[in-house]
A and B are shown apart, each in its own frame.
Chain A
Amino acid sequence: MSELYHKTVAELAAALRAEQVSSVELTRAFLSRIEQHQGELNAFISVTASAALTQAAEADQRRAAGHAGPLTGVPIAHKDIFCTKGELTTCGSRILANFVSPYDATVVERLRSAGVVMLGKTNMDEFAMGSSNETSYFGPVRNPWDTARVPGGSSGGSAAAVAARLVPAATATDTGGSIRQPAALCGVTGLKPTYGRVSRYGMIAFASSLDQAGVIAQTAEDAALLLGAMAGFDPRDSTSVELPVPDYSAALTSPLKGLKIGVLKEYFDKGLDRDVEQHLRAALDVLRSQGASIKDVSLPNLPLSVPTYYVVAPAECSSNLARFDGVRYGYRCENPRDLMDLYCRSRGEGFGAEVKRRIMTGTYVLSAGYYDAFYLKAQRVRQLISADFERAFHEVDVVIGPTTPTPAFELGAKTHDPVTMYLNDIYTIGANLAGLPGISIPCGLVQDLPVGLQIVGPHFGEERVLNVAHRYQLETDWHRRRPARFE
């Protein structure tokens, strides 16, 4: 019999439904698990124990009163990029280290009204800018599979917490791979929905046209459950899309017979680790044996995605982060001499190096005389990449490739060289530029380090993406492997 904390969201929900366990008991179990391992992993920025127990007690009352929904009483964690009323919301930055949000993000509000209990706020790269979780003001997160290695980023705290089973699932956000890449490196399932599927209201903006909220969980089944509770139009976010939310769980088990899978030629390039590639080929065989057909597809403009992304995302971030000025909330420098000094020192002391690098890059590409050559050109290339995907989805139902070129690397290995670090997102950025849904699921271990398989679908194709992932997980057990140290 496995421990409670080994269970998936679906299993915990069933146990709650069967009244084998109460939400308060579950919440206590996870809180103590977090307390036990926080020191090793640093996966949390804050643990909201007292609020969690209150919410759990409410969930139990709801159940007793017969008003429980499918997720009532299930505890999860939120990435610290989501505003949570009355709790610290730091975005991994010194500039918001003291910021208590006066309101809940739509994602938080929706999960809360579904009865989900919040255990705490997970660590992340500062303002979601990073691929290794080393840019957090609150220190790096460690990979549960090897604590000398990075968990990936920016949702490294969420991924590590789920991998070590400190929480059954956690919310996360993805601007260039920030859900899928850490999910791959930590051996868990990470779903980034279509741009506009989940409201961005209350999710602190990094790059508004790319940011999308999603979930990190143990299984595609759990991701489907949680997405169903989070998704949907929000009048407070003009870019959220007014489409009905399907029952994601219902479509999970559809057979794969007749499914057309595209394998991205551009993804199987020289940069891809040979061992990782072998696991991917094996995964394709599993899907083929389920009745899917596989063909090569080409997205000729995809190799331009990294430079395109590193123009568009910093441009938007340079503007989005202007509000952190020390005037109304957050960090303010000591004894400012005048307004300029207040700005310069509050921001100079409040932001870390990577954030500053991107603000400066973004400011540069939007400047008079450079706008056309950088920002405008990047937007054009972005359209070309979108068009490439669109063409591919005329031929195939989903495209499949690796999530990352290599398994998790060691802490500090890439911090000296931003471009090498940026190349970690080479396979994930395309889906953000085109606004497509993508999932990363575990598909193997290389020297005891997890490898991720990425499935990308057409706009609002979450059902198909989850279906393929779920069928794969029914046939394999990579997603059930746990890091030995955190048994």
Chain B
Amino acid sequence: MTEWETVIGLEIHAQLLTRSKIFSGSATVYGAPPNAQANLVDLGYPGTLPVLNAEAVRMAVKFGLAINARVARRSIFARKNYFYQDLPKGYQISQYELPIVSGGAVEIMLEDGTPKRIGVTRAHLEEDAGKSLHEGLPGLTGVDLNRAGTPLIEIVSEPHMRSAKEAVAYLKKIHTLVRYLEICDGNMQEGSFRCDANVSVRPRGADKLGTRAEIKNLNSFRFVEKAINYEVARQIELLEGGGKVLQETRGYDADKGETVSRRSKEEANDYRYFPDPDLLPVEIDQPYIDAVCASLPELPDHKAKRLMEQYGLSAYDAGVLTASAELANYYEKVLRIRPEGSSVTLPPKLTANTVIGELASLLNRDGLPITESRVNEDRLAGLLLRVADDTISGKIAKDVLEAMWDEGKSADEIINARGLRQITDESSIEAAIDAVMAANPSQLAGYRAGKEKLFGFFVGQVMKATQGKANPTRLNELLKKKLSG
């Protein structure tokens, strides 16, 4: 039986965070009433002309530099001609032969921890189209041109990915990068970050690529993974049944979890690209590139490496923390806080675990971004300080954090109000141990007869008796001593 290899390339569309559109002065705010943000240029009125937004160029250059790509000294806008109701001019202004960015790469981490380089063939600037509306318009199609002319950067990868998981890892990598660069908000629900996946399969070891299908407009990481897996299975089944994969455009039906045919190669448009005579070539010189380069923030890969070196974090923890710049910033800010009169420094590993563990799940629960965390950096530092100075145990700290989140109070306020201070004094712990031993003679006998597993039972009982406040280290030491008689 043939062993199949999957080959995937992605085309990512990222909406650039400019204040105005790429070729007009209209605003680009999401959610305005239909056509409230479409001026005469966006509407394609006779006689109107496009004027390039310099900020969109700067953002594209930023992206190019961040993926170590070539930034073209001279790039050209071209017209992609086709008719559609939401395309006012009858052509989309894009880049074709000379894109602004070409030949870059990013590195993804495979599941086994090995890095893999994914090539980026090109990234070009273009304008978005409008939207067609059907809801509440029986038998009619509405056209909303607010989005028409919104700047996009289309990022085209090499067909370097070999599984849906790799594709998602690459997509996440680019997603993280564009947000670090502050050139895209990455909002997939609103469509400001979306992708098309080119998927094909071939017998393992074959040189030639199989015929590909292009799955259009995937707007969540989950859909990307599901759509690709479905498509791969579909193609393999087709080929093994003696059929042929057709070169076509497909859509993803999220309800059914299937890809569906949209348009075959024969029906494909001939876009008749040609250089747009209304726009001059974009010329970029070295001083400009240098200035953009100097404005680049610390990029995710570099940041992760630094966190590993500086704080001794694992690659995994560093990877999770640097998935967004805001999360990494939060983490580092917590570590920099020195509570008044305290010489204790917070342990980086504990801090990392709390941020990507308990805090992240609270953020998740309430659907908040880290920038809107209900426990700020100062307060989290206050909590971790109490763990570090043995005031509370790590286990209690979890409850305290949740209470801080819900009640909006500091760690000390919660600890004091609830009497959660850890019991460290030996006599109190010993008294509790003695009481538990006296109450459980058969377990004590069992333990002494060699059932060492019962140690955990005694820990649990003592913790229960002290409402979890016994210092775990002390408790372990004392319990061991006492149990062995």
Contact = CB atoms under 8 A, between A and B. Distances in A.
B400 to A, nearest CB: 60
A323 B46 contact: yes
B47 A366 contact: no
Interface string A227-247: 000000001111100000000
A354 B161 CA distance: 51
Interface string B320-337: 000000000000000000
B46 A366 contact: no
Contact of A328 (B43, B47, B278): B43
Interface stretch (A67-75, A100-108, A135-143, A290-298): A100-108
Nearest to A105: B47
A42 B76 CA distance: 43
Contacts of B88: 323, 327-328
Interface in B77-131: 79, 81, 83, 85, 88-91
A203 B47 contact: yes
Interface residues of A, number: 44
B40 A205 contact: no
A366 B269 CA distance: 13
B288 interface: no
Interface in B43-98: 43-52, 79, 81, 83, 85, 88-91
Contact of A236 (B51, B81, B272, B274): B51
A370 to B, nearest CB: 10
Interface in A174-223: 200-205, 207-209
B83 A103 contact: no
A239 B278 contact: yes
B115 to A, nearest CB: 40
B50 A238 contact: yes
B403 interface: no
B49 A319 contact: no
Contacts of A315: 274
A329 B277 contact: no
A57 B270 CA distance: 54
A343 B83 contact: yes
A411 B87 CA distance: 40
A371 B89 CA distance: 21
Interface in A71-114: 82-83, 89, 91, 96, 99, 101-103, 105
Contacts of B49: 200-201, 236-238
B360 interface: no
Given A319-B91, A327-B85, A363 B46 contact: no
Contacts of A99: 46
A339 interface: yes
Determine which residue in B43, B47, B51 has the highest number of CB atoms from chain A within 10 A of its CB, and name it. Answer: B47
Contacts of B274: 315, 319, 366, 371, 375
A316 B91 CA distance: 12
A367 interface: yes
Contacts of B396: none
B46 A83 contact: yes
Contacts of A238: 49-52, 278-280
A209 B81 contact: no
B272 A316 contact: no
A484 interface: no
A319 B143 contact: no
A97 to B, nearest CB: 13
Nearest to A367: B270
A1 interface: no
Contacts of A373: none
A18 interface: no
A322 interface: yes
A353 to B, nearest CB: 20
A64 interface: no
Given A200-B49, A238-B51, A323-B88, A328 B81 contact: no
A207 B274 CA distance: 13
Determine which residue in B43, B83, B277, B280 has the highest number of CB atoms from chain A within 10 A of its CB, and name it. Answer: B277
A325 interface: yes
Contacts of A65: none
B81 A322 contact: yes
Determine which residue in B83, B274, B278 has the highest number of CB atoms from chain A within 10 A of its CB, and name it. Answer: B274
A239 B47 contact: no
Interface in B260-287: 270, 272-274, 277-280
A315 B272 CA distance: 9
A235 B44 contact: no
A323 B279 contact: no
A91 B46 CA distance: 10
Determine which residue in B46, B90, B277, B278 has the highest number of CB atoms from chain A within 10 A of its CB, and name it. Answer: B46
Contacts of A205: 46-47, 278
A323 B51 contact: no
Nearest to B280: A238
Interface string A357-397: 00000010011100100010000000000000000000000
B390 to A, nearest CB: 67
Nearest to B23: A238
A83 B83 contact: no
Contacts of A325: 83, 90
Interface in A298-325: 315-316, 318-319, 321-325
Nearest to B86: A327
B55 to A, nearest CB: 16
Contacts of B272: 318-319, 363, 366-368, 371
A102 B40 CA distance: 9
B321 to A, nearest CB: 44
Interface string B27-54: 0000000000000100111111111100
A103 B45 CA distance: 10
A268 B264 CA distance: 55
A112 B272 CA distance: 39
Given A96-B46, A201-B49, A319-B90, A366 B81 contact: yes
Contact of B45 (A319, A329, A363, A371): A329
Given A235-B51, A236-B51, A238-B51, A102 B81 contact: no
A205 B141 CA distance: 29
A208 B276 CA distance: 9
Contact of B47 (A83, A209, A324, A327): A83
Nearest to A339: B85
B90 A322 contact: yes
A105 B48 CA distance: 9
B50 A202 contact: no
Given A322-B90, A323-B88, A208 B43 contact: no
Contact of B277 (A82, A103, A208, A366): A208
A350 to B, nearest CB: 13
B235 to A, nearest CB: 27
Given A319-B91, A325-B90, A204 B46 contact: yes
A251 to B, nearest CB: 29
A201 B48 contact: yes
Nearest to B46: A204
Interface string A402-431: 000000000000000000000000000000
Nearest to B43: A328
B277 A316 contact: yes
A195 to B, nearest CB: 10
B98 to A, nearest CB: 14
Contacts of A82: 47
A286 B204 CA distance: 84
Contacts of B52: 238
Given A207-B277, A236-B51, 6 more contacts: A89-B46, A99-B46, A208-B278, A328-B88, A367-B272, A368-B270
27 contacts: A99-B46, A101-B45, A101-B46, A103-B40, A105-B47, A201-B48, A201-B49, A202-B47, A202-B48, A203-B47, A237-B51, A239-B279, A239-B280, A315-B274, A316-B277, A319-B79, A319-B91, A322-B83, A323-B44, A324-B46, A325-B83, A327-B85, A328-B44, A328-B88, A339-B85, A366-B272, A367-B270
8 tightest CB-CB pairs across the interface, nearest first? A322-B90, A366-B272, A209-B277, A208-B277, A202-B47, A323-B44, A204-B46, A83-B47
